[in-house]
Structure 1
Amino acid sequence: MHILILILGILTTIGIWSWRIQMARRGARVAMDAAGAIANAPRRFAFKYRAGKAGISLIEDPREAAAIMMMEVARAREGPLTDAQARTIDEEIMRHFRFTRKEADELSAHAAWVTNSAPDPLATMRTLSQLVVSAPQLGPKEIVDLDAMLVAVSEAEGVPTRAQLALLQVFRDRAGLKT
């Protein structure tokens, strides 16, 4: 009988100590998670700030802005984006940005996504035109090249519409180009 009580006491002691070790591990894990959350807080808050802004205000790369502008010009023609317009946008991206077919497809898909949630096309064009024109890495040649890219997209389905011409004029006014 004494042996049984001794074995029961040893098992109880082992059980209590293993439970305490498990609780200590769980507490350490919670503390590590809290420390990680505190360390990532500035990045998380910056992301929430940027995510709360409209999609257009997040654009910083002039190539991304140019792709969105081309998509806006293409969508200014009534109806869905046509194969000829999509092909023209991809070709212009590959030629002027030196992108591969896959990179051009990804950029044009991103541009299509942004234009779905963009405000008025004229306001979008004004904002992005200002970003492109004020980009320090772009010179007059690149501005003229972008104008040619926008014209190529507007002519992908024939003669440009009035809405497409209005978007082209917004860019030309911001860029200081004479028509």
Structure 2
Amino acid sequence: MHIVLLVLGVVAGLGFWWYRLRAAHDAAGEVVDAVGRMRGSMRRKKIRNQNQLSPLTAVNDPIVAAATILVAVATDDVALSTAREETIRAEIGKLTSPDKLEEAVIYGKWAAAQIADTAVVIDKLGPFLAERLDGAEKHGMMTMARNVCAAEGPDLPLEAQRFRRLTQKLGLEVH
């Protein structure tokens, strides 16, 4: 009888430890799954951020960059008014041909609509323009931006901040 109890005790002990090891394995699997989901989420967020900036990374022409910045500043949490769009066309039209003007304004409107934050547009395209423009052209860019914002349209609540940021990104002295 004592041998049967010994065998039952050993079997019960093995069953207990097998159950404990299986529970530990399941818990470890859940931790690994949670870490995998977190890593996947971080990877997807990074890809979303890269895709969000892709309209700006494709810009390789200063005229298109200027048009995109002007549209972004003019549509900072407001709709683009007809007067501001005409001002953008007039300002960019001084710099390029009518065909290039139309292309630049259309791309600028599309790219600015894809990026939710005007500061991101300025941060990404400001240094691009700073490398390619001389001092007079940089001041001209600021004048164009002021003319666009002065055109008739809804109030731009962050206008002063956007001008300050654009001035910094163009490498001009900030007052």
TM surpasses 0.5: yes
Q: Distance in 1 between matches of 2:67 and 2:129?
A: 11
1:178 and 2:174 matched: yes
Q: Cα deviation per residue 1:94-131 (whole Å; 9 max; x = unaligned)? A: 11x1322x432332111111111124210111111111
Instruction: Report the alpha carbon displacement of residue 163 of structure 1 after superposing the two structures with TM.
Output: 1.6
**Structure-to-structure mapping, 1:106-145, within 5 angstroms:** 106-135=103-132, 138-145=133-140
* Matched length: 125
Contact 2:81 2:153 in 1 (8 A): no
Alignment gaps of 5+ in structure 1 = 1-50
Deviation at 1:166, TM superposition (A): 1.6
Q: Report whether the alignment pairs 1:72 with 2:72.
A: yes
Deviation at 1:84, TM superposition (A): 0.1
Contact 1:125 1:170 in 2 (8 A): yes
Counterpart residue type for residue 99 of structure 1: S
Pairwise CA RMSD? 2.4
Asked if structure 1 preserves the Cα contact closer than 8 Å seen for 2:52 and 2:114, the reply is no
> Which stretch has the larger CA shift, 51-60 or 121-130?
51-60
Q: Equivalent pairs: percent with the same residue?
A: 19
Pair 1:162-2:157 in alignment = yes
Q: What is the distance in 2 between the residues matched to 1:125 and 1:54?
A: 14
TM-score by length of 1: 0.62
Any stretches of 5+ residues in structure 2 without a counterpart? Answer: 1-50
**1-structure distance, mates of 2:70, 2:109:** 10
Match of 1:149 among 136, 140, 144: 144
Q: Distance in 2 between matches of 1:154 and 1:71?
A: 10
1:98 is aligned, of 85, 96, 99, to 96
Q: Distance in 1 between matches of 2:73 and 2:67?
A: 10
Contact 2:83–2:153, Cα closer than 8 Å, also in 1: no
Letter matched to residue 172 of structure 1 = T
Measured in 1, the distance between the counterparts of 2:130 and 2:103 equals 24
TM-score where L is the length of structure 2: 0.63
Quick check: 1:77–1:163 contact (8 Å CA) kept in 2?
no
Runs of 4+ in structure 1 deviating by more than 3 angstroms, as ranges, are none
Does structure 1 conserve the Cα–Cα contact (< 8 Å) formed by 2:68 and 2:111?
yes
**Secondary structure, in 3 states, of the residue corresponding to 2:138?**
helix
Contact 2:92–2:101 (8 Å) recurs in 1: yes
